[in-house]
Structure formats: structure tokens, C-alpha cells
Amino acid sequence: MSVSAKKPWYQEIFAVEPHEIRAVVLGFLYYFFLLGSYYILRPVRDAMATSYGADPASLSQLWTGTFIGTLIFVPMFAFASNRVKLQTLLPWVYGFIVLTLIGFIFLFQGAADERWIAAGFYIWVSVFNMIITSVFWSFMADLFSRTQAKRVYGVVAAGGSAGAVAGPAITALLVKVVGTNMLLLISAAGFVLTIGIVLLLVKEKERLRIAGHDAQRTRLDHTLAAHSFKGFDLVARSPYLLGIAGFVLLMTWVSTILYFMQQDLIARLFDTREARTQAFAMVDLVVNVLTIGIQMFGTGRLVARFGVTTGLILNPVLMIGGFIGVALMPVLLLVAQVVRRVSEYGVARPSREMLFTIVDQESKYKAKSVIDTVVYRGGDFTVAWVQAGLAWLGWGIAGVATFGIAVCAVWAWIALNLGRRYENVTGDRKSTLAEAAAE
């Protein structure tokens, strides 16, 4: 009687196949340095917002500027993808960000307290945040197949959460010692490291393609020949992509509602920019420490057991409970915000990114960039002014929370239908949580 060989420890724990190790490790490191570099800037960005104005009207102006900036930058990215090979374009996305951060260092040295500089920094970081994460997940969907994605996306996403722990920790520890400009320089250095990892992953993708392993068969040594607004056209013509866009739009509405509440609370509790930066960094730190464990050990197993539909619907269902708690006890606001971000980053985001593994390469880069940036920031823009209108009407926390419950109900319905559409296409229908409980 033969005895089957014992699986390596990494297969037992993470379900990663031997030929995938290099790609998964590089993907983990890519996301680590990418989000680590961004999360160094995020508390600085949020502190800049309070310098511009923490009231709903001021925040609405910033988010309107962010939406306009996104409408400008996304066609620029599409234009570049029409003329620059993907293997060259991907690293240069991050190189361009490095150059802009160096420019802001000089601006802060010259006029650190100018409101327009604070607004410009907030808007630019908010714009490129969406671009860099969209490009990352486009690359991952172009690297791993749908079957691989179910197993490895949680591990890869954990790299981002680890970076999102390191980033705010660096900011919280150093902001009062080295100041804002040095933090921008440290962040820029992290993006330079990201460029190096992207170049290694480009070579790894080609190695996997030539070896014939279960990976995406697409190549990166070409441009995406189409007009600069092709992404908008792709989304408008596809019910599947429109469903993803609707999911992202309402997810953004919920996060923005809670973000406004958080900004107002932090502004009232802390007097100085440094103290607010430190407070925002600590919130980020708590969220990402909780998220990383879920991504490393829970996401893959949950999706494999219950399917992508469960991964998509979990976030809106939890937030219905979160808004009910805030309406009854406003002191639970920060708890609801932590629950939202942990469930989004830990489960909903990897599940949503799996949806793009079954679309064509052009949709992975162009349609996805529209959804991840224009639709996302459009959600920010629209609900920001809705929030300002509710404040003008005198709606308090309970009223806004009730509005949030209604949004979550529609969001959950879209998640359910979108997940079932994906599983019908792939034949990956799994039992729901309720069905599993009855088994």
C-alpha cells in the first residue's frame, strides 16, 4: 500500500502550489510596499483635510475636486496604455507618483500652511490611491486564473494589509520627530521599491505563461489599442461590469457616510494637525492588524467553502447591523467604521477582484480603471453632497444612519445578483451560509 506524500507546509496552510510560490510572494511584497507607501501618506492626507475644513461643505468641495481629478487622470492612463506597452506602463505609474511626491515636498517647504496646497495634496493622493490599487489588481487578474485567484488572493491581499499596518505605524511613530516632508520622502522610497517588484513580476508572468501552468495566457509586451474612453464604453455595454460598478458605487456611499462622521469626531477631539495625523494612523493600524489575519487564514477558505456570492454579500449585511447600532448608540460609530473596513478589506475586496478574472484583458485594465476610480470617486462626490444636504436639513446621526441602512439593503441585493451571475458563468455555485448551517 502506497503512502501519499505529505504536502509542503505552505500548501497545507495557504493552498499555494509549488509553481505559484514565486508569483504569490512577489504579489505579497508588491502589495506590501504599495499600500505601505500609501498608508504613510493617508494620515497626512486626512490631516490636510481637517486643515482645509472638517465641515461637510468643505469635505464636499475636496471630494468634488477629487472626482474632477479622477475624470482627468483616467483617460490619461487609458491614452498611455494605447501607446506604451503594458510591461513598461505598469512600473511608470508608480514612477510618476514618486516625482509628484518630491514636488509636494518643495511646495510644503515654501508654504506649508496654505489651504490650497493642503487641498491639492488631499485631492492628488485621493486620485492616485485609486489608480495604484486598480492597476495592482488589474495586474493580479492578468496573472492568476480564476481558480488560482480563489486560493491565493487572500494571501496576496494580506501583503497589502501588512503594508497598511507598517505605513500608519511609521507615521504615528515618526511624524512628530521628522515632520511631514520626511514622511513623503520615505513614502517615495517605498514606491521606488514597488517599481522593482513590478519588473520582477512582469518576468514571472512570462515564465508561467511559457511553462504552461494554470495562469492567465495573456501577454504584456503590447499596448491596448483602443480610444482613451474605451473603458467607459466597455462598462456601459456589459450588464456584468455594470453590476460591479453598482456594487462599488454603493460600497463607496457607505464608506463615505461613515468617513464624514469620523472626520467630524476626530476634528472635535484633537486640536493640532500632528495629533489628528496620529489619531488617524492609530485607527488605520487597528483596522489593518485585524484584517491581515482574516486575509491570511480566512478569505480563501471562506470563498472556497461558500462561494464568491457570500464574500460579496457579507460586507453590506454586517453594515446594516453597524448602522442600526450607530442609530441606537452613536458612541458605536468608530466600532462600525472598524467593522466596515475589516470586512471590506478582508473579504469583500478580494471577492470583488475575483470577478475580473473572467473578463478580457482590455476590460481588466480599462473598464476596471473606470470602475475603481471614476465610479468610486463618483460615489464619493455624489454622497458627499447628499451628506451636506442632510446636514443642512438638520439630520442627526440617527437620521444619517437610517439612510445608511437603506443604502446597505440595495447594496446587498446587488451583491447577491452579481455573485450569482459570476457563479453561473464559472459553474462555481456553492452553498450559502444558511444552506451550510442546515447541512
| Region for 240 from its dihedrals, namely left if φ exceeds 0, alpha if ψ lies in -120 to 50, beta otherwise | alpha
Q: Is residue 91 part of a domain?
A: yes
CB 47 within 8 A of CB 276: yes
Q: Is residue 6 part of a domain?
A: no
Q: Is residue 438 part of a domain?
A: no
Per-residue pLDDT at 428: 59
CB 241 within 8 A of CB 371: yes
CATH number at residue 106: 1.20.1250.20
Domain count, the chain: 1
Contacts 24+ apart (CB under 8 A), 82-85: 82/223, 82/224, 82/225, 82/226, 82/227, 82/228, 83/223, 84/223, 85/220, 85/221, 85/222, 85/223
Mind listing the pLDDT tens digit for each residue in 45-82?
A: 887 777 776 566 677 788 788 888 888 888 888 888 88
Q: Is residue 20 part of a domain?
A: yes
Per-residue pLDDT at 298: 64
Range of the domain at 379: 14-431
Q: Is residue 320 part of a domain?
A: yes
Could you tell me the pTM of the whole model?
0.77
Mind listing the pLDDT tens digit for each residue in 72-118?
A: 888 888 888 888 888 899 999 999 999 999 999 888 887 656 778 88
Average pLDDT over residues 289-296: 76
Per-residue pLDDT at 211: 77
Mean pLDDT of the chain: 82
Mind listing the pLDDT tens digit for each residue in 192-246?
A: 999 999 999 999 998 888 877 666 778 887 887 666 678 888 899 999 999 999 9
Q: Is residue 437 part of a domain?
A: no
Q: Is residue 410 part of a domain?
A: yes
Q: Is residue 7 part of a domain?
A: no
Average pLDDT over residues 167-195: 88
**200: helix, coil or strand?**
helix
Write the burial class of residue 437 (CB in 10 Å: 0-12 exposed, 13-18 middle, 19+ buried): exposed
